[in-house]
Amino acid sequence: MADKSKGLSKAKEIYRNRSVRAKELKAEGKKIIGYPCVYVPIEMLTALDLIPYRTYGDIREPVTEADRALPTSFCSIIRSCFDCALKARDDFLDGIVVAHSCDPQEKTARLWESYISYPYFHFMDIPGTVRPEAMDYFKGQLSDLKKTLEAFTGKELSSDRLKAAIQSHNIQRALVRELYELTKPEPPLISGTDILQVIKALMSLPVDEGNELLTQVISDVKDRTDGPERKPVRLILWSSTLDDVEIMQIFENGANMVMDESCGGIRAFRAKVKLTDDPLDGLAQYYLEEITCARTFRETVLGETRKDYLEDLESRFGYLKDFAQEWKVNGAIFLLVRYCDPFAFEVPSLNDYFDSIGIPSIYIEYDYAQGALAPLRTRVEAFLETIS
């Protein structure tokens, strides 16, 4: 039991039984709000004393119920996530916020609202570009979310409360970045598998409890002597999301995963929300511009009339080069589930970009199901063997 007080063990425990704490909080009278995507501004939930709870799929759960509502040629992560919802896996939720982060999220939002009766449901539209007029529109969307949350809770969301919540979440973002600093040494002090568990745990906890957990984890990792072994390859992962340790371990059997640029890794923590006079300005800017999801259309210069492919690559993927250099990466994995269009369209260009910076890469497509893990393992092993 003593070991469970340690941060990593605690994170592992939460990862395995994610809903335990949410249910405890629910029993104490708190309201729990689900969100299936990191585009949902959870600062607003925190500010209103709601508990944000990220909803996931389950790679071990065969999709059965979702078949009545969604075709099979559809993002298998969202299919699984919706399947779990139909099976009342998260029946303690008091509501859900779905964002128009991608087409499958937008389409499934309608189904979520139709098939499952939550006391609270909100759909938040997100523009496709980062243009100033799109930013204004998006701020309006945040304002609408604020209003429905206020109506649901019967509380006013004051600017001060929202700023305080932003600060708490910014602390969390800074702590996650600090956690990733611990993968810079060779060998890294913490594995990608451990980080995945920590981040999934964070997304199941109130922000302050998450920050305590992170502080504990960072302290533990710095003190421990039994970190990961040094492997011949240091990998960066680029993916829509990776949320299962069994998948991560496939990579870490032959490599050190030192950077995970996905929604299960650093993506939601890479930058921080600016504290602006109107906090909605800072939130709008952060969520529309700073989250590096392939769903957003970006240009080198807004409204450019001249295009240069290499400049375009640099402006879209330059941050990955920074990761690669700072974390001394020597291999890149582009991991996507089948039918993930926004990310899949990026693959050849991203491959060009990694070629241009001299880092070998591989694109691997899989289905979000346990049966898909064996072929995934084979491809990863072959790639690692080639580059090491």
Q: Which residue, 124 or 250, is less far from other proteins as judged by CB?
A: 124
Judged by CB under 8 A, the residue of 111, 207, 214, 329 near other proteins is 111
Cα 231 off chain centre by: 26
Helix (H, G, I), strand (E, B) or coil at 162: helix
- List phi, psi (to 5°) of 156: -90, 135
Q: Which residues, 347 to 366, sit near other proteins by CB under 8 A?
A: 347-349, 351-352, 363, 365
- Told to check if 117 binds other proteins by CB under 8 A, we report no
319 binds other proteins (CB under 8 A): no
Contact indicator for 145, 41 with CB cutoff of 8 Å: yes
For 235, the token pair is 């990998």
CB atoms within 10 A of CB 211: 19
By CB under 8 A, residue 150 contacts other proteins = no
Q: Which of residues 189-208 bind other proteins (CB under 8 A)?
A: none
49: left (phi over 0), alpha (psi -120 to 50) or beta: left
Residue entry with tokens 């004051």: 158
* By CB under 8 A, residue 212 contacts other proteins: no
* Three-class secondary structure of residue 125 per DSSP: coil
Residue with tokens 């997304």: 203
Among 35, 39, 120, 123, binds other proteins (CB under 8 A): 123
Interface with other proteins, residue 295, by CB under 8 A: yes
225 binds other proteins (CB under 8 A): no
Q: Does 106 bind other proteins (CB under 8 A)?
A: yes
Q: By CB under 8 A, name the one of 118, 134, 181, 377 that touches other proteins.
A: 134
Hey, is 81 helix, strand or coil?
A: helix
Q: Which of residues 238-277 bind other proteins (CB under 8 A)?
A: none
How far is the CA of 36 from the CAs of 97, 109, 114, 339, 346, in angstroms?
8, 10, 16, 17, 22
Q: Is 109 in the site for other proteins (CB under 8 A)?
A: yes
Closest to 331 (Cα-Cα) out of 234, 262, 260: 234
Cα 196 to chain centroid distance, Å, stands at 10
Q: Is 379 in the site for other proteins (CB under 8 A)?
A: no
Q: Does 304 bind other proteins (CB under 8 A)?
A: yes
- Under the binding rule (CB under 8 A), the answer on residue 136 touching other proteins is yes
Tell me which residues touch other proteins (CB under 8 A): 68-71, 73-74, 100, 102-104, 106-107, 109-111, 113-114, 122-125, 127-129, 131, 133-134, 136-137, 140, 144, 147-148, 294-295, 297, 299, 303-309, 312, 336, 338-339, 341-342, 344-349, 351-352, 363, 365
